[in-house]
Structure 1
Amino acid sequence: MKSQEIRKQFLAFFESKKHSIVQSAPMVIKDDPTLMFTNAGMNQFKEYFLGNGTPKNSRITDTQKCLRVSGKHNDLEEVGMDTYHHTMFEMLGNWSFGDYFKKEAIQWAWELLTDVYGIDKDILYVSVFEGAEEDGLGMDQEAYDLWKAIVPEDRIIMGNKDDNFWEMGDQGPCGPCSEIHIDLRSEEEKAKISGRDLVNQDDPLVVEVWNLVFMQFNRKADKSLEKLPAQHVDTGMGFERLCMALQGVKSNYDTDVFTPLIREIETITNSQYDKHSKPNEDNGKVSVAIRVIADHVRAVAFSIADGQLPSNTGAGYVIRRILRRAIRYGFTFLDTKEPFIYKLVETLSNQMSDTFPELKSQKNLIFNVIKEEEQSFLRTLDKGLVLLDTVIKNTKAKIVSGEKVFELYDTFGFPEDLTALILSEQGYEYEEEVFTAELQKQKDRGREASKVSAGDWEILIPESEEVFIGYDTTTADVKISRYRKVNSKKEGEMYQLVFDQTPFYAEGGGQVGDKGYLESTNGDVVYIIDTKKENNLIIHFTKSLPKNVTSSFKGVVDTKQRSRSASNHTATHLLHQALRTVLGTHVEQKGSMVHSGYLRFDFSHFSKVSSDELQEVEDFVNARIRESLPLEERRGISYNQAIEEGAIALFGEKYGDEVRAIRFGESMELCGGIHVENTADIWHFKITSESAVAAGIRRIEAITSDAAKEYFTSQSEAFGAVKAVLKNAKDPVKAISALQEENTGLKKQIEKLLRDKAKNLKGELVSDFEEINGIHFLAKKVDLDASGIKNLSFELGGQMESAFILFGAENDNKALLSCYISKNLVEEKGLNAGQVVRELGKYIQGGGGGQPFFATAGGKNPAGIAEALEQAKQYVKQ
């Protein structure tokens, strides 16, 4: 049975049980600060488990794309080493929100696996929660009795808290679970040891295939449990493992989910995948590399399709790390020194775009981003190899310091395992424990910096559903429905408040959250410093708690900040329309940031936007502003109707059945943000910069409203100051051009004088060389600039064999050291000019670097030049 049919049968089965089929949520999470990526099928339904929302249908089913590479669920290092761990995978699931519970979940799971899919009942085992004394929980007798009516008791296994009690996190909904495991071993292997004894023992052929979670409790901050007001079912079945079972193979990578990618990798890299090889064998390492690449290209492609580009921070760093892991496996074990992973995007798109159409619509972007990342990292690897070669040459013993290996990893991005491989090939080792300690220090610093602890919510108004009224008003009478205290290493002690209704807009759609204040009836004021959304709750951040939390308050939004943000947000819509008009309809929004002071807009485009095109875009937007286009807002319009009417939906966003459409003239987009009532309120639009973000992604930054007024005021003042300096010349441009020509002429005269001076100095310095240990040594302070010193150094070096030259100079109260070393000394004696200036730089309170034969250092202490020159002499003597 092909994987596409397996997926369709799952969804059809639960649709027949009155479940609504919903689309997979984006893999990149935007409104949950506790998660970077969707790591389980239940993430998009978290608000329902928390009681912060009510689903339209109490029964839901879907296939959810998931990524497990960070935090508690982190399978990255296992990927490729075995045959069943993945970064990106599909989770098939069915949910009940306060509807059916254990009986139906268990019966339907068994019916689907054995009757519909036809899996042999004799190779299935089930596990049941055995209880946890510390939580006051006994064995899940109900689940045990339900299973006992279906399977023999010797196939029911008691599972501990780690295996059979599922928790969303340190706090939140949780409950016992019942897992279904499958034994795919041969009959001969089964005769040796029972599958029962291999459940949850990391056997690659006795694996968990489905987890049925029974949400019954809420874990509080003090670790105690309380019963949820409603009982829910949350199930997750690994699609890739199910395909392995139904296709009669022994590895997820032998299913048709992965074989097309593996065949393409073999073809491109001229390598051979051997599914029987072991990881530590030569061809086993090749097979591990192929599995890593086949897995990782899926994770990276889906992440980019969902709007997350590789970067150096946050979720983008995780994606870059996954891709770089794939690149270095190809570099090391498949001998690929040119980009090739991007070529797999076509195969992946053809294979999966029927289920996930974003792979097809974003194919060019994925292709270009991966290719550029490959090119960049391969350059890093080349540079790292040169640096590592220098480290090896400068290591007298056969053990390289762990700090040096960590520096290569942390500063230059050179992978530690690749360093270890190259060192071992040359008979070297490194201080692994020291490297590990340095890495742990770095992780601890990052973890400490982002550490946040939250108390339990204090519920003041039970079952209150928060209502956002901020589209229509910026002030409202509000009551606090719940609050909690949070402590953050970064922000300190704060409070989070939720109201029964709120005029405050929560950060979303690129627009920052509202600020403002709460005012009590007696005049006490508490300032709202930010507003964010978390699991369907609009959360207001304050530094202090109101004195009487149960009273009524007046909530007031900072209208000045909001109007500026609204101007910038509306301008992004007009900018999007302008770019599609000027550059072409291939332009798609790839991200935005709307502050009160400026806007940032990322979009797909294949080349730099020319100055003429930028001017045309700016003129287009300002023309729409002058037209005074009114806001046409439609709330509650169906998604399909909005799309049919021409509304633009942004990739990577999850939309419901009903949406909000915003129109200004011919610009129509789905958007939940705050906008101006009329484009005239924007006043003016001014582009301040255009740049590249990634392959095929450009970024425009711009200002509007008050910021634009301030910009033109400052420009006018600057122009006035320039005219004053030019003594109010009638034609300032002509006057500046004349000054530039005069300056150019004077520079040429100075350069000639310096060349003559260096020429004369050269003749004087030849006689100042002294021979030390077979080295022609010269250390002098000279009155030349950096360019003159470099020319002089190379001229003297060309004239004098085995030369070691160090010049010091003082320019503009700053110190400069330049070191030249003949190439024969670099090769024969291991001397390194870069190392010399780094060591001597401390005397001038600075530092620098360069190549082994020429390097420079700058510093702020000219008085130290003399000592640096003297220490150079001691260095050569030693």
Structure 2
Amino acid sequence: MGDSERCSNKVAIHSSFVSGLFRDCLDRPGPGEDSAHRGLWRFFGLPPCKLTSSGDKVREAYIEFFRDKKEHDFIASSPVVPLNDPTLLFANAGMNQFKPIFLGQLEPNSPLQGVARAVNSQKCIRAGGKHNDLDDVGKDVYHHTFFEMLGNWSFGDYFKEEAINWAWELLTEVYGLDPERLYASYFAGDEELGLPADVEAKEMWEKLLPPERVLPFDRKDNFWEMGATGPCGPCSELHYDRLGGRDAAALVNADDPDVIEIWNLVFMQFYREDDGTLTELPSRHIDTGMGLERVTSVLQDKRSNYDTDIFGPLLAALHDLVGGDPYQGRVGEEDVGMRDTAYRIIVDHARTLTLAVVDGAMPSSEGRGYVLRRILRRAVRYGRSKLQAPPGFFSQLVPKVADCLGVAFPELNEGAKRVESVLREEEAAFDRTVDRGMQFFEALRDELTAEGKSIIPGDQAFLLYDTHGFPLDLTEQMAQEAGFTLDSAGFEAAMEKQKERSREALREQQAQKSEGLQPLELVAEQTAWLGDRKVPITDDDPKYTWNTQPSASILAIYTEHGFVESTADIKDDGASVGLVLDKTPFYAEAGGQVNDLGLLRKDDGAELDVKVVQAFAGYVLHTGPLPTGALSVGDEVVCQVDYAHRSRIAPNHTMTHVLNWALREVLGDGIDQRGSLVTAERLRFDFSYEASNGVSVKDLQLVESKVREVVDSALPVHTKTVALADAQAIAGLRAMAGESYPDPVRVVTVGSADLDTILEKPGDSQWLTQSVEFCGGTHISSTSEAKSFALLEERGISKGVRRIIAATGEAAEIAMKEAEQLDSKVTELEGSKDMKEEALIQLSRSVDNSELPAAPKAALRDRLGQLRKQLKKKQKKKKGKVSKEDQAAFLAELRQAIEAARSAGADFCVATFEGSGVDGKMLRDLASEPEMESLAVLVLNQPSDGAVDCLAAVPSSLQASKPAGAWVKAALDAVGGKGGGKPAFAQGAARGTDSQALSAARAAAEAFWAS
């Protein structure tokens, strides 16, 4: 019986004396908003007083309470993909976007500067790293990979008393929860930490709750830490008893599904040092977090988050797609066939994938992209195996996710179609992956059966799991059906071996990073130390002035052991030293641009060789090795920026802007920046692009041509700091997706119109014809200073994201000149009447190994390919035994093709020949060489009789996803041939083919690998 039904029955029974009161109660948004109503509902045994409204209303009530009644600033949720925090795969807590405040590293021009109180609902994903709920989703009714975290924060403003009292006010008066069902916890103290019990919080709670419902817990439950180091502090959790009418104190923090934590109030007052010691933070903060899904289930009197209106529409949409029995909420042994488990997994994962992709992440083979791929495959697998869902069902849930969450996160309304397209393609790829995995398994099964074995080796099962993404339980199921058992211990051993390889690689990476200069960082303790001593933040406006050598005063000297008065006090010759100056012309690393290099020199010759420049909370730290001579606080130094170094960086940065504009001009408005890196040698630009085969050579040529036109036109580069709202109104303005910009903001435009002219008519479409971007970097004053531009490489780095590498100046000119020289050599070879194979091979190697503009390089490779075909046609077609000379020629050319594939970053090579000396033994011998452990090779040969012979060798690391037998079959199916074999090696042939068969088979082989 629902709440309203119970309420109606009670009204009928007692209508003689309470009908008016009950009518009033039922008409209110949340019954029991005062003590009289609460008492009335409890008197008649009705549900505890609560706000029985939608999840949207719960979110809205929370934000309105803190924003309107408690004077908090509403700060919109940051993207769930933390583009500015490389330590996180995903935003996993509401406080993530406020880390610079807690760490004392907030820049003076940050939009968060001056915010003392904040409230929002943050998009969070916990599916990797320290916080990982992926494996629990579906097994119970309250874990999620994506959830919303309602939070309110104080940054050095209010503290425990306000946080506790306001939490109580919101829960009992706004949400109308029954106080008798609430329990509060507090930190019980810890001898190891040297901290006593949080008696202060305990006494505050006991003013609101009886002592028996104010409970102490240890550091595991009631001491919150940002990480191994950093801000931390005791916390108080609020727990709610869904059943009520009992003493549930013993069930708090006991994993009872009916006594659940709903809110955590963190009192951030300490900083944990590298050695584990705790020091008082200079400012005390409040950080709270309450899961919207969980508190909504409480307010709607549902024992399951999935029974609320937050998930109801999604579950209904999924049922419409799969048919059969609708969701019934069964868990554990009651969920026979795991149908309801599958429902929960799929709708949860649909929310996660939709929010992650709309915020810029893409399923891929590494990092957060790999986590997303695993999540999608888990959802699809459960849908196909437990719900008999049709192919492509999962991506069809995206519009419903957007409907449900678009009110809170409007970016979904614009991005849902793109997300659906991405997930549809990824889902289809997984279906193909499963098919190939089954082919691999069947080939392995047949091989083991022939050998009289009945156990699937653990390393082979792991190969399926790790390389292919083939679920272990599906392998176990297929093994059982085939009468085999699985070597689980061998699987675990292979898994542990891979983990150890990963750990070793991480150790090597860390060791490499530790060589040379030790990086220094100013965090809360250091920036507070500077602030307490009235050290002003660094004036870095001089960084935009070129060819100047201003004097500056040393305000502080920092080492890894703390602040010192003089470098003469430092005894470690290998120490890194950081200087804070009153002003600086050095550019600190930011926005993808590397920092300036140079010297800080005192009159007596003492100097610091500046290698790293970084800004922390407005303090610019100039770091280098221990100076020659002594530098002391108060000394004057001359700042000598290496402007020759900057003069190579600035053109690359300006041309990055122009490249961004040119890509939009050629490829359309769907191009969004995903990252960049600007150095003295190169510029790197990552952008979204959905076409699976990348940017065409024709479009690359057009993009490069447009950038060169801008260089040749000597257009002026204008910069100006303007109001953020004014800048955002400019037609065609480019900004990094998910980036937070200061107000006012610096704008850089490349073109004839300056910012004053543009701002007179900001919406005018003519501004689309020139580059306009937010940027705080250093730039050239005219595009002619770039001298030239060469687009050196274009490739995919993850699904839907491409990368361009380019150069300006001398590096670009060298690349273009080399392309011209190689073009002349290819032209000369094309006109030769006596073309030598050795010359062709050598020229092909030169093209592959040279750094050339991307479009000419592709064109040269195509022309050389045509020359190879011509050469083969001129060579005598031989039958029978192949000579040693022909075998050697074949191997040389094949090795060249393999090297070209490896240089291009590919993990496979498809090589075509006409009448070559290819045979299976030669390819097997080649594949056994150590350098071939990560590259698969397929050879197609068309001898004079018109047949097409096909051989393939695949290394063990790739056999799970691309077995050789399936590869050969795919290639020969396109030309009416047959073939197959084991995952490691396969062969086959097609007879009676025509002159187009070789290219058709090659296209099919390459398409198989790209699928």
Match of 2:441 in 1: 388
Q: Distance in 2 between matches of 1:589 and 1:483?
A: 37
**Greater share of strand:** 1
Alignment match of 1:313 (pick from 341, 347, 366):
366
Q: Distance in 2 between matches of 1:237 and 1:741?
A: 65
Q: Higher mean Cα deviation, 738-747 or 209-218?
A: 738-747
Query: Any conservation in 1 of the 2:826–2:864 contact (CA below 8 Å)?
Result: no
Match of 2:593 in 1: 511
Pick closer, same or farther for the CA change 1:227–1:296 going to 2, 3 Å: same
The answer to whether residue 978 in structure 2 is matched with residue 852 in structure 1 is: no
Match of 2:27 in 1: none
Query: Any conservation in 1 of the 2:94–2:150 contact (CA below 8 Å)?
Result: yes
Query: Unaligned regions of 5+ residues in structure 2, if any?
Result: 1-52, 563-573, 752-769, 834-842, 844-855, 884-911, 939-950, 957-965, 969-979, 988-1011
Pick closer, same or farther for the CA change 1:264–1:723 going to 2, 3 Å: closer
The answer to whether residue 818 in structure 2 is matched with residue 714 in structure 1 is: yes
Match of 1:685 in 2: 789
Pick closer, same or farther for the CA change 1:292–1:638 going to 2, 3 Å: farther
Taking the TM superposition and a 5 Å limit, the aligned residue runs for 1:232-381 are: 232-280=285-333, 283=336, 285-336=338-389, 338-381=391-434
Letter matched to residue 624 of structure 1: V
Deviation at 1:335, TM superposition (A): 3.3
Deviation at 1:719, TM superposition (A): 4.2
Match of 1:578 in 2: 662
Query: Any conservation in 2 of the 1:296–1:326 contact (CA below 8 Å)?
Result: yes
Query: Any conservation in 2 of the 1:181–1:206 contact (CA below 8 Å)?
Result: yes
Taking the TM superposition and a 5 Å limit, the aligned residue runs for 1:320-719 are: 320-336=373-389, 338-395=391-448, 396-450=452-506, 459=526, 462-463=530-531, 464=535, 465-469=537-541, 470-472=543-545, 477=552, 479=554, 481-484=557-560, 495=576, 497=578, 499-500=580-581, 502-516=584-598, 523=605, 527-529=609-611, 550=632, 556-595=640-679, 596-604=681-689, 609-635=695-721, 637-646=722-731, 647-665=733-751, 666-691=770-795, 697-719=801-823
Q: Higher mean Cα deviation, 93-102 or 582-591?
A: 582-591
The answer to whether residue 204 in structure 2 is matched with residue 128 in structure 1 is: no
Query: Any conservation in 1 of the 2:606–2:631 contact (CA below 8 Å)?
Result: no
Deviations 1:584-625 (A, max 9, x none): 334433443434323334244658655554444333333333
Deviation at 1:121, TM superposition (A): 1.1
Q: Distance in 1 between matches of 2:79 and 2:60?
A: 20
Say which SS state the counterpart of residue 133 (structure 1) adopts. Answer: coil
Pick closer, same or farther for the CA change 1:555–1:262 going to 2, 3 Å: farther
Q: Distance in 2 between matches of 1:398 and 1:8?
A: 60
Alignment match of 1:72 (pick from 100, 109, 130):
130
Match of 2:269 in 1: 216
Deviations 1:787-828 (A, max 9, x none): 8799999xxxxxxxxxxxx79999999999x99xxxxxxxxx
Alignment match of 1:3 (pick from 55, 59, 76):
55
Letter matched to residue 687 of structure 1: L
Query: Any conservation in 1 of the 2:606–2:630 contact (CA below 8 Å)?
Result: no
Alignment match of 1:752 (pick from 877, 894, 897):
877
Say which SS state the counterpart of residue 878 (structure 2) adopts. Answer: helix
Percent identical among aligned pairs is: 38
Taking the TM superposition and a 5 Å limit, the aligned residue runs for 1:172-191 are: 172-185=230-243
Say which SS state the counterpart of residue 385 (structure 2) adopts. Answer: helix
Letter matched to residue 399 of structure 1: I
Deviation at 1:218, TM superposition (A): 1.0
Pick closer, same or farther for the CA change 1:425–1:616 going to 2, 3 Å: same
Deviation at 1:116, TM superposition (A): 0.4
Match of 2:19 in 1: none
Deviation at 1:106, TM superposition (A): 0.3
Query: Any conservation in 2 of the 1:531–1:539 contact (CA below 8 Å)?
Result: yes
Q: Distance in 1 between matches of 2:257 and 2:460?
A: 38
Deviation at 1:694, TM superposition (A): 5.9
Q: Distance in 2 between matches of 1:813 and 1:316?
A: 32
Q: Distance in 2 between matches of 1:643 and 1:559?
A: 32
Pick closer, same or farther for the CA change 1:716–1:606 going to 2, 3 Å: closer
Deviations 1:485-527 (A, max 9, x none): 89xxxxxx98584734554445443434445555566556665
Match of 2:892 in 1: none
Q: Distance in 2 between matches of 1:211 and 1:254?
A: 23
Deviation at 1:432, TM superposition (A): 2.4
Match of 2:8 in 1: none
Say which SS state the counterpart of residue 231 (structure 1) adopts. Answer: strand
Deviation at 1:104, TM superposition (A): 0.6
Q: Higher mean Cα deviation, 438-447 or 377-386?
A: 438-447
Pick closer, same or farther for the CA change 1:674–1:428 going to 2, 3 Å: farther
Q: Higher mean Cα deviation, 694-703 or 231-240?
A: 694-703
Say which SS state the counterpart of residue 127 (structure 1) adopts. Answer: strand
Match of 2:1001 in 1: none
Letter matched to residue 705 of structure 1: G
Deviations 1:41-91 (A, max 9, x none): 112111222223373121111111112222221212111211111122111
Q: Higher mean Cα deviation, 692-701 or 70-79?
A: 692-701
Q: Distance in 1 between matches of 2:289 and 2:922?
A: 69
Pick closer, same or farther for the CA change 1:30–1:744 going to 2, 3 Å: closer
Query: Any conservation in 2 of the 1:220–1:456 contact (CA below 8 Å)?
Result: no
Q: Higher mean Cα deviation, 108-117 or 696-705?
A: 696-705
The answer to whether residue 229 in structure 2 is matched with residue 171 in structure 1 is: yes
Deviation at 1:18, TM superposition (A): 1.0
Deviation at 1:380, TM superposition (A): 1.6
Say which SS state the counterpart of residue 754 (structure 1) adopts. Answer: coil
Match of 1:763 in 2: none
Say which SS state the counterpart of residue 256 (structure 1) adopts. Answer: coil
Deviation at 1:420, TM superposition (A): 2.7
Query: Any conservation in 2 of the 1:339–1:374 contact (CA below 8 Å)?
Result: yes
Pick closer, same or farther for the CA change 1:348–1:466 going to 2, 3 Å: farther
Letter matched to residue 735 of structure 2: A
Deviation at 1:214, TM superposition (A): 0.6
Query: Any conservation in 2 of the 1:273–1:286 contact (CA below 8 Å)?
Result: no
Deviation at 1:555, TM superposition (A): 5.4
Q: Distance in 1 between matches of 2:862 and 2:478?
A: 57
- What is the aligned residue count? 782
Say which SS state the counterpart of residue 95 (structure 1) adopts. Answer: strand
Pick closer, same or farther for the CA change 1:97–1:38 going to 2, 3 Å: same
- TM score, norm. by length of structure 1: 0.79
Pick closer, same or farther for the CA change 1:528–1:414 going to 2, 3 Å: farther
Letter matched to residue 202 of structure 1: D
Deviation at 1:19, TM superposition (A): 0.8
Pick closer, same or farther for the CA change 1:361–1:101 going to 2, 3 Å: same
Q: Distance in 2 between matches of 1:836 and 1:63?
A: 49
The answer to whether residue 146 in structure 2 is matched with residue 88 in structure 1 is: yes
Taking the TM superposition and a 5 Å limit, the aligned residue runs for 1:197-208 are: 197-208=250-261
- TM score, norm. by length of structure 2: 0.69
Say which SS state the counterpart of residue 173 (structure 1) adopts. Answer: strand
Match of 2:959 in 1: none
Alignment match of 1:228 (pick from 281, 289, 293):
281
Q: Distance in 2 between matches of 1:313 and 1:743?
A: 37
